[in-house]
Amino acid sequence: MKSGSRQNHNVSLSGGGENISYNASLDYFQNEGVLVGNAPDYERYSGRINTVMEKGIFKVSPSIYYAHSFENNLNYRGGVLTGGRPPLINDLVMAIPTLALYDENNAGGYAGTSSQIHQTIALNVPGANSLFETTTEVDRTFAILNPQLQILDGENHKLKYKLNLSYDKTIARDFSFIPAFNLGYFFNSGISLLDQDTRVYTVGLVENTLTYNGTFGKHNFELLLGQTFQSNKAETTNAHSENLPQPYYPVLSNGENQNAGGSNNESSLASYFGRLNYNFDDRYLITATVRRDGSSRFAPQNRYGTFPSLALAWRLSNEEYLNLPDEVSNLKLRASYGELGNQNIANYLYQPVINRNILYNFDGASVTGGLQTSIISEDIKWETTTSFNVAMDASLFNNAVDLTVEYYNKETTDVLVGVPIPASTGSINQAPVVNAGSLKNSGVDVELTYHYNNLEDFNFDISANMSTINNEVLALGGNDEPVYGTGAITQVGGEVGEHFGYIYDGIFQSQDEVDNHAFQSAATAPGDVIFRDLNGDDVINAEDRTTLGSALPSVTYGLNFTANYKNFDFTLFASGAAGFYINSRLYRTLMWSTDYVNSHTDILNRWTPENTNTNIPRVVANDPNGNARDSDRPGWLQKGDYLRLNTISFGYTIPSETFNDVLSSSRVYATVQNLHTFQHYKGYNPDFNSGVFNPGFDNGTYPRPRTYMLGVQLSF
């Protein structure tokens, strides 16, 4: 690892006249990563122009945004680095300390492990990251044109028509070049590889809305009717070439075995919607909405879905007859019920496709034929989330304290997700997207804020929030068969991706203990893990697995503190989560054996005949007892609770008279991001992202870098 750098520069200009105003900005961002080698690095240039033109009943606000970015990606080539490689950070930690960095005798100039010397399979990560070049260059153009016409503009009646047109085009160019290299056995290639891809994404939107505002005494109405149409197009072109001659000039035509391919797919979304807002005397408030959405990602019979919602609120503090205490500045009760649809899946997943390049034997000859090689669900339809919320909003003590308490209950039915299927089906797609049952999330959200403004030169705001979540799987479709993830299970009545495996009952200390326990393995010996026989059949097998704990945080929380003293300002932001466990691939690999990879220091306390007071089993080749199987043995499931100090910032605003009014304002500041994380977890990040059915499995995440920033803001 190394120290990286980050810089961000922004210049904006605004102005205008009687009928027009504008704002233009230019931005530059650059980030150099912390891993030795080519990646990860990122650089972006962007510009934006916003204008507002208004004359009489006509108004238009066009805007255009353009960005160009260049990124060096951390990316493996599965066909080059064999063995189902984990993320680079895992290889970096597991690499043995006797592995050199450079070796001029190897192709590429970097060292690798030798089967005769090291007796290990370890990757030279800085070498791979320096030799492999994988970049993505992106150009994005986003434009909006939204003319509107004020048809009626009376004191009590207003009618407005608005047309919203947007165009979003992204062109991405992927470049991957791998020279011939030798990084040890399992990690070498005698030929160079070049791949170049182009991806073009185009999104167009047309939206028409008509809005009416009316006031009748204490009655206030807002009625909105609208229609949208969105088209999405994605085109890809890919080309491959290999065995380029040295010295390398990575152009496709220089290599051999050249081939090309591509794809083109489209989708569209059509919607009709209406919304009514009603307010009586700022005491009773109603919002009613209905949407009718149609998606081309579903078959014609399932294409459309209707999604209504209703929200009610009662501002009790405006009711004179209630005579609320003076300490209550504002009090509102609200409730809502609504449905929301989801169609965020790939295109054409409901359509069976014939593979026309299937070779089979016919009458002694090889013949090309056709066959459906991927299982699909032709009946997929809209996923629907139904939400019910009840809340209270209060401001107390002359608005010094704000309090919000909300209970929510969300039930999602017809969940769209890729469900793993057995390889015996013969399907190329091992996780076809289906409507896989339903699940429910419920909990309480609480937010509390205190405003201190009693001193002329000093004030501060401190706010804290907390959210609880209770997840329950209601149905899984079909016969409600459980869905298995990596050391996880999703089953009706439980949570999504609960940890799943065997129960740890200690370490065998003698052969008598082994002989008197349920059979685990013919090679089980003192020093091995004791697994509990849950079904009492005197054999430890798959039937003895059970759920081992939640992979989802039961509570998340945050804290934000801002303060000002004269010209000084201070900000602190922290967040965290609790009530869940993590299954770490990296830790388990480091605890597997001392023979093949670097190990965690915890393994120094492993069981030996001289060290029996330990919960870490013996180390033995090939692990015949299966000590490393999914279980709740110490370290295999680790508490994920954490509190992260995300941002601490300190600034000073320089008085304008210091610069003789040349500057209207100026501010300097210093910021530290990711200052520290308080955690039990022995991995890097307890808040990683993982798959749907194994949310608690950390395959290997990169450490978050601590960033120190100095900045200045100048306004002329």
> Is residue 269 within 8 Å of residue 233, measured between CB atoms?
no
Q: What is the mean pLDDT of the chain?
A: 92
> Is residue 576 within 8 Å of residue 641, measured between CB atoms?
yes
CA distance 480 to 490: 10
At residue 255's C-alpha, the angle toward residues 253 and 260, to 5°, is: 65
Residue 418 confidence class, pLDDT cut points 50, 70, 90: confident
CA 98: distance to chain centroid?
Answer: 37
- Using a pLDDT cut of 90, give the percent of the chain over it: 75
CA distance 168 to 185: 47
CA 479: distance to chain centroid?
Answer: 31
CA distance 220 to 281: 8
Sequence-ordered list of residues with C-beta below 8 angstroms from that of 127, at least 6 positions apart, any chain: 37, 101, 108, 110, 111, 112, 181, 183
pLDDT computed for residue 293 by the predictor: 97
pLDDT tens for 687-715 read: 988 888 899 999 888 888 999 999 999 88
Query: Of 477, 400, 386, 480, whose CA–CA distance to 440 is shortest?
Result: 386
CA distance 639 to 681: 6
* Residue owning tokens 């290599």: 255
Token duo for residue 255: 């290599």
pLDDT tens for 629-678 read: 999 999 999 999 999 999 999 999 988 777 767 777 889 999 999 999 99
Query: Of 218, 186, 31, whose CA–CA distance to 115 is shortest?
Result: 186
Sequence-ordered list of residues with C-beta below 8 angstroms from that of 340, at least 6 positions apart, any chain: 307, 309, 384, 385, 387
Assess whether pLDDT exceeds 70 at residue 78: no
* Residue owning tokens 């299966």: 626
Assess whether pLDDT exceeds 60 at residue 277: yes
HSE-up (13 A, CA, CB side) for residue 685:
17
Query: Of 373, 477, 351, whose CA–CA distance to 416 is shortest?
Result: 477
pLDDT tens for 83-92 read: 556 677 888 8
pLDDT tens for 510-551 read: 999 999 999 999 999 999 999 999 999 999 999 999 999 999
CA distance 47 to 24: 8
pLDDT tens for 560-616 read: 999 999 999 999 999 999 999 999 999 998 897 655 678 899 999 999 999 999 999
Q: Which residues pair with 69 in a beta bridge?
A: 44, 138
pLDDT computed for residue 80 by the predictor: 72
Verdict on whether the full-model pTM lies above 0.85: yes
What average pLDDT score do residues 392-405 get? 95
pLDDT tens for 122-169 read: 889 899 999 999 999 999 999 999 999 999 998 899 999 999 999 999
pLDDT computed for residue 410 by the predictor: 97
> Lowest-pLDDT range, 88-102, 246-260, 372-386?
88-102
Q: Is it true that the peptide bond before 686 is cis, omega within 30 degrees of 0?
A: no
Q: From the CB of residue 354, how many other CB atoms can be counted at a distance below 10 Å?
A: 10
pLDDT computed for residue 373 by the predictor: 85
